[in-house]
Structure 1
Amino acid sequence: MTISFAGQVAIVTGAGNGLGRSHALALAKRGAKVVVNDLGGARDGSGASSAASQEVVELIQAMGGEAISHGANVANFDEVQDMVQQTMDKWGRVDILINNAGILRDKSFSKMTLDDFKLVMDVHVMGSVNCTKAVWEIMKQQHYGRIVMTTSSSGMYGNFGQSNYGAAKMAVLGLMNTLVLEGAKNNIRINALAPTAGTRMTEDLMPEEIVKAFAPEAVTAGMLTLCDEAAPNRFILCAGAGGYSSASIFETDGCFIPTAKQSPEAVRDNWNQITAQDNQKALVSGAQQGEKFIMKAMAFMKSQTVSS
């Protein structure tokens, strides 16, 4: 079935260049009215210009679509609220939010300033929080909403020189996990996209056709499945160069150690059972972990009662 966004309104942050630009154009081609948000700064977040976002708007209009640009800094909630208000004034609804805006301030942790750490957290984490907060009540009242967070392998697995970026990209998954629970009754679904991109280093090692495979459009094809009506919920989609996979957090079944025997030595002695992966599960809420441990304690108490 062809995925269509006809009649829907989408906000794409950081949409002046790269992935955001690709996302905005693809949504427009499939019928969405698009708010092209971009502060227009450099990769490190410095500067501002509306030229890039306005060019995307003109491309969308040239193909017969509808679009407006807005230069809100996603780290500034007042500016984000103004963007959403302008969207509502023009089109009366917001169906899709793509939290894509981001900056890089890469350095090893030893050399990184706290200002660089905080700025990256502000843009990636608070930027996603601000934009989501600004559309949340609208989506609740509509009883419909699709939100995509942008995470990264740097957050899930680590990447040298990106402690700030990695922390931010893991944080948006924590935001997603709770919003999924809170938005479910209002048909708001939240998913995460983990893009894979080529680097200047790998460009010298790979054939040209493989380098071209790292085009943003390959990631956008995956993104579109995360924000349509039939989108999954709480899904982490990894995409890049034609490869697509999912990432999940699993927890092992673990063990139970009775109160009288609890010690670091006992924990170490049970390490094989603690780490055994044969009965691991992806938990759907933090409460499920507590429930699991309570059930283990109750089962132990029951066994003691029976044996006595």
Structure 2
Amino acid sequence: MILVTGGLGFIGSHTVRALLDLGQGCVLVQRRPAEVPADLAGEQVAVEQADITDLGALLRVGERHEITGIVHLAGSMPWPPSSEQPVEQARRAVGGLFNIVQAAQDWGVDRVGVASTIGVYAGIAGTGPLGAGEGPLREDMPVRMTAPHLIPTFKKIGEMLNDHLAGATGIEVVNYRISGTWGPRGHADPFFPAPAFVHAAVRGTRPDLSALVLPAHLEDSIDLCYVKDTARAIALLQLTDRLNHRTYNVASGRATTNAEVIAAIKQVVPDARIELPTGGTTEQNHLDITRLHQDTGYKPEYDTERAAADYIAWLRAGHQY
């Protein structure tokens, strides 16, 4: 069975679905008590309560299940950030990653996948503060030692630790550099407005963009990947027999502008009250997914129009987020 940390979360729950569709059972590790979600009932899924920062509790999961792989999607970072006990928060965050690799070693797991982010590319020559600029962005590009936000900071730390641990333990530790992901079970994102657009369209309100790190404009773009594609890519990276690299971009492989997202939403909700000013950057960035395609055969199945229609239908079916 594949152990998935954060398996009841946004990307995690879709990754579990993708793994199940590919014939793999899953063990979902959660800090708080939880049951198997209704949409996974009857499937080969188990939910275990364990905090990954507690090595003993994590290892006991392996006593109850035969773990053959690990997909680590829970955030190995101090989140939400707090000014109280920052050193201890950072220690626990990084310690959780160490525990995952220790468990893999103890259980004889050959491959561990770890979530990283498009944000590690921030600051590369020609790119903006959050990775927006001229693409394609390739995995072999050197990244800067600094980062503008806590998330890419700890993801960069994690990638370097993963490289060391892979070499030292012989375990195949694979980094997933995940692009901007949207879709069912998603929420407002501080880096791009697409989820807020969809929720507002379904509610019949104007989107609240106050949480965005930077103001949004029609021309602004990001490599926007629908969560079902993100999940399938992660599942393929876990199950493909042979991988040739330790780091993979998980993305759509194209830049999508806010204007394109709005147009796709209005095909389904013509009276959606979404308006943005012009004047943003016209630079286009996207993640190069050549590695991912060559090693796993992955191709995105959702273009912007199909993704928006699917997301809207899911919300209209009565789901709250």
TM-score (norm 2): 0.54
- Write the letter of the residue equivalent to 2:249: C
Which entry has the higher C-alpha Rg, 1 or 2? 1
- Higher relative contact order structure (alpha carbons within 8 Å, sequence separation ≥ 6): 2
Does the alignment pair 1:177 with 2:147?
no
Going from structure 1 to structure 2, the CA distance change for 1:25 and 1:170 (only over 3 Å counts) comes to same
Does the alignment pair 1:153 with 2:111?
no
Does the alignment pair 1:99 with 2:99?
no
Residue of structure 2 equivalent to 1:55: 36
* Consecutive unaligned residues in structure 1, runs of 5 or more: 1-8, 40-48, 88-92, 249-308
| CA distance in structure 1 between the partners assigned to 2:250 and 2:50 by the alignment | 27
CA deviation after TM superposition for structure 1 residue 235, in Å: 2.5
Aligned residue runs from structure 1 range 5-24, under 5 A: 9-24=1-16
Aligned residue runs from structure 1 range 55-204, under 5 A: 55-56=36-37, 58-62=38-42, 65-87=43-65, 93-102=66-75, 105=79, 113=83, 115-116=85-86, 118-119=88-89, 122-123=92-93, 125-139=94-108, 145-157=110-122, 163-184=149-170, 188-197=171-180, 199=189, 201-203=192-194, 204=197
| CA distance in structure 2 between the partners assigned to 1:95 and 1:216 by the alignment | 24
* Secondary structure of residue in 1 paired with 2:166: helix
For each residue in 1:154-203, what CA deviation from the matched residue of structure 2 results, as whole angstroms up to 9, or x when unmatched?
Answer: 3453667964433321122122212332344xxx4221101122535522
- Write the letter of the residue equivalent to 1:245: D
- Write the letter of the residue equivalent to 1:167: T
| CA distance in structure 2 between the partners assigned to 1:74 and 1:23 by the alignment | 19
The answer to whether the 8 Å contact 2:253/2:288 transfers is: no
Question: How large is the RMSD of aligned CA atoms in angstroms?
Answer: 3.4
- Write the letter of the residue equivalent to 1:55: V
| CA distance in structure 2 between the partners assigned to 1:138 and 1:104 by the alignment | 27
The answer to whether the 8 Å contact 1:236/1:247 transfers is: no
* Secondary structure of residue in 2 paired with 1:130: helix
* Secondary structure of residue in 2 paired with 1:220: helix
How many correspondences in the alignment? 207
Choose which of 20, 28, 32 in structure 2 pairs with 1:36. 28
Choose which of 204, 207, 223 in structure 1 pairs with 2:234. 223
CA deviation after TM superposition for structure 1 residue 26, in Å: 1.1
Going from structure 1 to structure 2, the CA distance change for 1:227 and 1:105 (only over 3 Å counts) comes to closer
- Write the letter of the residue equivalent to 1:237: Y
* Consecutive unaligned residues in structure 2, runs of 5 or more: 124-128, 131-146, 182-188, 198-215, 255-286, 292-321
* Secondary structure of residue in 2 paired with 1:170: helix
TM-score (norm 1): 0.56
| CA distance in structure 2 between the partners assigned to 1:206 and 1:59 by the alignment | 37
- Write the letter of the residue equivalent to 2:2: A
* Secondary structure of residue in 1 paired with 2:175: strand
Going from structure 1 to structure 2, the CA distance change for 1:149 and 1:233 (only over 3 Å counts) comes to farther
| CA distance in structure 2 between the partners assigned to 1:68 and 1:106 by the alignment | 27
CA deviation after TM superposition for structure 1 residue 118, in Å: 4.3
The answer to whether the 8 Å contact 2:62/2:107 transfers is: no
Does the alignment pair 1:237 with 2:240?
no
| CA distance in structure 1 between the partners assigned to 2:289 and 2:159 by the alignment | 13
* Secondary structure of residue in 2 paired with 1:151: strand
| CA distance in structure 1 between the partners assigned to 2:86 and 2:148 by the alignment | 11
